[in-house]
Homo-oligomer: A and B are copies of this chain.
Amino acid sequence: MAFVIGVVGSGDTDKRHDPLAMEVGSLIARHGAMMVCGGLSGIMEAASRGAAQEKGTTIGILPGSDNREANPHITIAIPTGLGVARNVLVVRTADALVALPGGPGTLSEIALALNVGKPVVDLGDWKIEGTRAAATAQEAVTLALDLCREGSAGGGQGSPGR
């Protein structure tokens, strides 16, 4: 019974938010969930590193067509060749999203998630209607997992009942 938590945020390295992202990734893995992200650098890489250190599965859905563009902590790379349209796949693969600070790409993922009915936990002060705010990585991951459970009675990837 493994849920998939999406982590979205800036592709740029950021001393302030990368440790937060790493903690989010780490907690996702420790709770036995899989992580999905856009597979590149910045927040995506920090969260992947956190999850990988805890032996978690990290799915990286890449905009390009070469799996070598994935950050080194991605265990499953999906090179889509779809450019930014891959943002839709990050959202659809996740049972819930944790949104860290970022730019318009991250905003598009939050909006697409709300558009298709996936819960979004706001850990980036986005203050967008329909999201749920969290103050810490622990609170964000706990809330995201609760929302996964609500959204899927006994579901999730690899659940016995699927």
Q: Which residues of A contact B (CB under 8 A)?
A: 34, 57, 59, 61, 65, 67-68, 70, 72, 74-85, 87-89, 92-93, 103-105, 107-108, 110-116, 128, 130, 155, 157-158, 162
Contact = CB atoms under 8 A, between A and B. Distances in A.
Name which of A68, A74, A107 has the most chain B CB atoms within 10 A of its CB. A107
A86 to B, nearest CB: 9
B89 A83 contact: no
Given A65-B83, A84-B88, A104-B111, 4 more contacts: A68-B155, A80-B89, A81-B85, A87-B112
A122 to B, nearest CB: 14
A65 B116 contact: yes
Nearest to A83: B81
A-B complex: 7 closest residue pairs judged by Cβ atoms: A108-B111, A104-B114, A107-B111, A81-B83, A104-B115, A85-B88, A105-B115
B78 A88 contact: no
B76 A81 contact: no
A93 to B, nearest CB: 5
A66 to B, nearest CB: 9
A92 B75 CA distance: 16
Contacts of A88: 80-81, 83-85, 87-88
A79 B93 contact: yes
A116 B84 contact: yes
Contact of A81 (B59, B68, B84): B84
A70 B43 CA distance: 29
